[in-house]
Structure 1
Amino acid sequence: MTLHRLAPLGATLAFILATPALAQDDGGRVDWTGPYVGGSFGYNWQKRDGGEHLRFDTDGDGNFDNVVTTATGANAFSPGTCGGSPRGVTPAAGCNDDKDAIGWMGHVGYDMQFGNIVAGVVAEAGDAYVGDSVTEFSTTPASYTMTRRIGWNGNLRARLGWTTDSGIMPYITGGLAYAKVKNSFFTSNTANSFTQTDRNEDGWGWTMGGGVEAKVAQNFSIGARYLWTRYNVGDYRVNVGQGTAPATNPFIITPSGTTDISRGDKFDTQSVMATASFRF
C-alpha cells in the first residue's frame, strides 16, 4: 500500500487524535446508540494483475481452458500478456496501468452500545470510478484488451467496535457487496468479427476491513475506514467470428469453428475513506 493511498486515512486519524474528547455533562461515557446518516470520500485502487490472462474456449463447451493455435499448431498468443491497456501491438511497447481513482459513498446505519462494546449495521452506496484492463498479444502481431469499470456500487456491513468513555471507537466491519460492472473490448485486429455478450454485469461479492470513528459533538462523528472488496464476475465474453479473415485464421480453425474470449472472474478493489455522520 503506497503512501498516497494512505494519505486520506492518515490525515483523518491525525484529526481525530487531535480533537478534544466530547464533553459530558453527567460525567458518563459517550452513547453511540441510535441511527445515523452521512457520507465518505477517499481513494479506490486495485491490485496489479500482471499474472492475469485472457482465456479461450475453442471447442464450445463453455470452459475457457483451451489454447488458440495457428495452422502449424503453434500457440497464437505466445508473445504474452500485461495487466493494463496496450501502448502498441507487441509486449515490447508496454502497457498503461489500470485506473485508480477517488470515490465517494453515502451511508445510513444504526448502532447499539453495550458497555464499551458497540455493534451495528450500515448500508452504503456510491461510485468508485476504477478501471481494470488485461491485454493479450498474438503473433500476428495484434493486441486484445478487455476492460471493466465499476459504475455505482454498494454494500451492507455489520460493525463491531470498542469505544472509550470519551467517544473514540476503533472497529472491524464486513458484509455483502455489489457493483454494476461495465465491460468493453478493444483489439487492433481488423479482420475478424467480434461480438460482445453481457457487457453490463451484476457483480456480487463481499467486503471486509476496519476503521476508527470519534464523536466530536453530541450528534456528529468523524472517522476513517479501510475496505477490501471482492466482486464475483465472469459472464462477459467476446465471440470471435471469421469476418474478412482467411479460412486458416487461428480463431476459426477450431473444433467449434469459432472462439469465445473471457477473463478472470474475480474483481478486487481496496479503498481508504474519511467519513462523517450525523447521529440522531
Structure 2
Amino acid sequence: MKTLSLLAATAAALSLATPALAQGDRDKSQDFNGPYIGVSGGYTVQPNDGRETLIFDTNQDGSFDDSVNTSTGDNAFAPGFCGGAATGTANLDCRNDKDGFEYFARAGYDKRMGNFVLGAVIEGGRSEVRDSVSGFSGTPASYTMSREADWQAGARLRAGYTPGGGVLFYATGGGAFAKLDNRFTTTNAVNSFADNGKTNAWGYSAGGGAEAMLTDKISLGLEYLYTDLKDDDYVVNVGAGSAPATNPFLQNGTGTDIKRSNDSLRTHSVRATLNLRF
C-alpha cells in the first residue's frame, strides 16, 4: 500500500507540474542545456518484508539449501521466520522494517536538441531505510539480520521532452551502489557467531520526473526512483562456542553459515530536487 501511495502521489504531482512556474519574459532557449549541481531530498519505502527467511549451509560447501536439524532429526527452526526484527524469542510481533527520509547531492549535464533533452547525472547520499529478517529456533532463541546503507551513489542517464523550455519531463535510469551496514543479533548465548559486517551492493535505479525552471539558473523538480541493490555477500558463521557436539549448528563438526534468502534491497523513493545551472 505504501508503494502504491507513493506512485499515486508522484503521478499526481507530475500531472500538476505546469509551465506557469517558469513563465515570464526571460529567454527559455537555453533551459536544460549545460552543467548543473544540486541537492535532492524525499522519502523512501522498501517492500522487503514479504516471505523472506534465513537459509543455511550446514556443511559449508557454499550451497545454502540445508536444514538445521536437532539430534533427533527435527527441524530446529520449526517456529519459522518473519520479515522484520524479532522482539523476543518467539515468532510473534516482529518489528516492522523502517522506511525513512533520504538526502543526496548531485551533479549533471544536459544537452538540449530542440525540445528534446539528453543528459547524465551522478549523485551521492543516503536513505534511512532498514530491512530485517528473523528466524526462531525451538530452543527457544531468535536470530535477526538487518541491513541499512551507510551511503549510496548512483550514475544515470536521462532523456526528456521540454515543450519550448520552462518545464522538462524525463525518464532516467542507470547504475546504483551502496555500502551496506549489516548487523546480526541473537539470543543464543551458547554458540559463537562471526560475520563480515559491511558489504558492497551493486544494482540499478530507474524512474522519471519533472523539472521546472524558476529562474534562468535555478530549477525545482519532483522525481520518482526505483532502486534494486544486490546484497549477497553477507554471511554469519555459527561456531561451537560452548555448545556440545550435538548442537544443531554443528552437524558437520565445524559450524554452519547463515544468509538471507532475499539478496535484494529494493526501495521506492519520491524526492524533490533543487538545481543550480551554469
TM-score bracket for this pair, using the shorter chain length = over 0.9
Q: CA 1:79 to 1:25, structure 2 compared with 1: closer, same or farther past 3 Å?
A: closer
Deviation at residue 4 of structure 1 after TM alignment = 7.0
* 2:49 equivalent in structure 1: 49
C-alpha displacement of 1:267: 1.3
Distance 1:271 1:70, change over 3 A: same
Task: Note if 1:90 corresponds to 2:87.
Answer: no
Using structure 2 for the length normalisation, give the TM-score. 0.92
Deviation, 1:75, is: 0.8
1:116 Cα deviation after fit: 1.0
Structure 1 residue 105: Cα displacement: 0.4
Q: For 1:240 and 1:31, how far apart are their aligned partners in 2?
A: 58
Q: Where does residue 105 of structure 1 map in the other structure?
A: 104
Question: Could you tell me how far 1:137 is from its partner in structure 2?
Answer: 0.8
**Partner residue in 1 for 2:22:** 21
Change beyond 3 A, Cα 1:279–1:15: farther
Equivalent residue, structure 2, for 1:158: 157
**Aligned-partner residue type, residue 222 of structure 2:** A
How many correspondences in the alignment? 276
1:251 alignment partner, SS class: helix
Other-structure match for 1:195 = 194
> 1:168-224 deviations in whole A, cap 9, x for unaligned?
11110000101110111000111111111x211111111111111111211111111
| Paired residue secondary structure (1:86) | coil
Once residues 6 and 18 of structure 1 are traced to their aligned partners in structure 2, the CA distance between those partners, rounded to angstroms, is: 22
Distance 1:51 1:267, change over 3 A: same
Cα separation, 1, equivalents of 2:123 and 2:12: 22
5 Å-filtered alignment, 1:120-199, equals: 120-196=119-195, 198-199=196-197
Matching residue's letter, 1:133: S
Residue 32 (structure 1) shift: 1.6
CA distance in 1, matches of 2:144, 2:94: 11
1:203-254 alpha-carbon deviations (Å, 9 max, x no partner): 11111111111112111111110111111111111111121222211011x1
Q: Is the 8 A contact 2:21 2:212 kept in 1?
A: no
In 1, Cα distance between equivalents of 2:25 and 2:59: 71
For the structure 1 residues 98 and 68, does the alpha-carbon distance in structure 2 shift closer, same or farther, using more than 3 Å as the test? same
- Distance, in Å, in 1 between the alignment partners of 2:213 and 2:23 is 7
Counterpart amino acid of 1:90?
Answer: A
How far does residue 40 in structure 1 lie from its aligned partner after superposition?
0.5
Aligned to 2:258: 261
Match of 1:206 in 2: 204
- Alignment deviations for residues 102-133 of structure 1 (CA, whole Å, 9 cap, x no partner): 01001000000111111100001011121111
**DSSP 3-state at the match of 2:22:** coil
> Mean alpha-carbon deviation: is it higher for 11-20 or for 44-53?
11-20
Code of the residue aligned with 2:249 in structure 1: it is: F
Shift, 1:6, TM fit: 6.2
Q: Distance in 2 between matches of 1:9 and 1:274?
A: 11
Offset of 1:256 from its aligned partner? 5.0
Secondary structure at the aligned position of 2:18 is classed as: helix
Residue in structure 2 matched with residue 240 of structure 1 by the alignment: 238
The SS at the match of 1:112 is strand
Of 248, 256, 271, the residue aligned with 2:269 is 271
Name the SS of the counterpart of 1:42 in structure 2. strand
SS where residue 20 of structure 1 aligns?
Answer: helix
8 Å CA contact retained: 1:29, 1:167: no
- Unaligned 5+ residue runs, structure 1? none
> Structure 1 CA distance, aligned partners of 2:19 and 2:117?
23
Q: CA RMSD in A?
A: 2.1
1:8, 1:274 within 8 Å by CA — same for their partners in 2? Answer: no
2: CA distance, partners of 1:108 / 1:57: 44
Q: Which SS does the other structure have where 2:74 is aligned?
A: coil
